[in-house]
Amino acid sequence: MRGVIDDCESLSFAGHDDWRLPNARELQSIVDFGRSRPAMDLLFGPIPAGHWTSTTVAFQPGRIWAVALGSGFTIDGDAGAGLLYVLAVRGS
């Protein structure tokens, strides 16, 4: 998991270098439960499936929370699997 976090924190994109991986609460804040497929405002563009967050699963080392932006569900996954997407955010 640390690799994904480090990758986001080392991004330099669009003239900014303060990118990071959002926590589960931040990523869920863009979910619109009145929508589905995707369960979010299309302002963010067509964003596929699940996205990693920086939030770890309590008492389960190596597992982190992800948000499925198609449905809005929060799921836990193996941080080493690397099969989900990343949506980097800026600021602290």
For residue range 7-39, what is the model confidence (pLDDT) as tens digits?
778 788 889 888 998 998 988 887 777 777 777
Number of domains in the chain: 1
Residues above pLDDT 90, as percent of the chain: 1
Residue 65 in contact with residue 80, Cβ under 8 Å?
no
How far, in Å, CA of 83 to CA of 79, rounded?
9
- Is the model more confident about 50 or about 80? 50
Quote the pTM value: 0.74
- How many C-beta atoms surround the C-beta of residue 66 within 10 A? 25
H-helix or E-strand containing 27?
helix 24-28
Domain containing 28 equals: 2-90
Q: pLDDT value at position 81?
A: 64
- How many C-beta atoms surround the C-beta of residue 90 within 10 A? 13
